[in-house]
Structure 1
């Protein structure tokens, strides 16, 4: 019976493979260590005791990076999975896939992307808060109060139209997805208010003019009355002055002469009546 160490050597030889029995540039086949093919080639015939390994190039649509037995089929970047080819397959390396435009990768590996999804579309009433990338989705946000966006994937929200500031009437209030609808002011109040305001201004203007004219007439009347009184007072003063001033000599002589004229006949008449 074999000792334990001999059993261990036997088992080691039994499970000997490429990694342990052959060099790093060889592969194990049919009890022989055959040379590998160059990258981009595959084995056409294995080596024998007398011949080396026979190789041939990989066919289109396949590759071999290490020169092993068989070429590997190239990866196909399927648009149905949201993928496109970022790097074409060649004899020594596989194709590299990436997300289509407006897509982002949801499953990735060392070779590239295996599955991608389309970026979210920001619906009307929202705006793009952050644009999507190859690895992240688009972020959307609701339009704030008194703003709106009526298109998909809008980069910003627009303020509602202020109808009163334009002299118009708001017919329909705006929402986060639509603007305010304005129209002409055709209601009775909108028509009467300007007319009444204008009439009020005109009435106030006329009233002010009448008040000013009335004051002017009153002033004129007062002035005339004062003037009349002054004239009367002046005449009265003149009359008193005339009465109070001394008579001159000529006037006195005239009066004396007139008196003498009327006195003499009277005396003569009296003498006659008293005679014999």
Structure 2
């Protein structure tokens, strides 16, 4: 083997050694996709896509400990660490959750018995509404996933309408009476002011102003209306 061939061979060996060393360094210095760097250490990652969250953070002496997300249960675990978790089974309409899932077990569903219903999220099935017992007529029978529907009694509708009308009528009456009271008190105040001697005007005005203020406070307290003076102005105009 000549000198050139030896040099070429030596160069190839050096290049291969350098590449091997670099590859070795990269493998041991970079964290894998399933882990992350924390304080210079590669710590396992609790992947939310796998239904996991961090239970205990990574330290220099221990790895990260994962646990299932809320609404999930662990399907694969190793040495106290959950590796994969799945979402709880959603019970179908007409079923109820017979046994709620835990950290390591899934929901257990069961069919509702006759004359009961559930939308799938109930812990127990609910009985159908008894329209006859309520004095009403059933207009739609219950199903495994929905309650029975009853009609609305005519008397109830009439009662609601009459009650609403009476409420409005009473409110209007209170407003009208309040306005009339304001007008009479103001008119009487003007008449009394003209009849009172001039030397008693100051005392009379003070007492009249106090009485007028008490009436306005009473009206504004029990009726949600503008100030009495504003109401009077709108009526007089």
TM range (shorter): 0.3 to 0.5
Larger RCO: 1 or 2 (CA < 8 Å, sep 6+) = 2
Higher helix proportion: 2
Rg larger in structure: 1
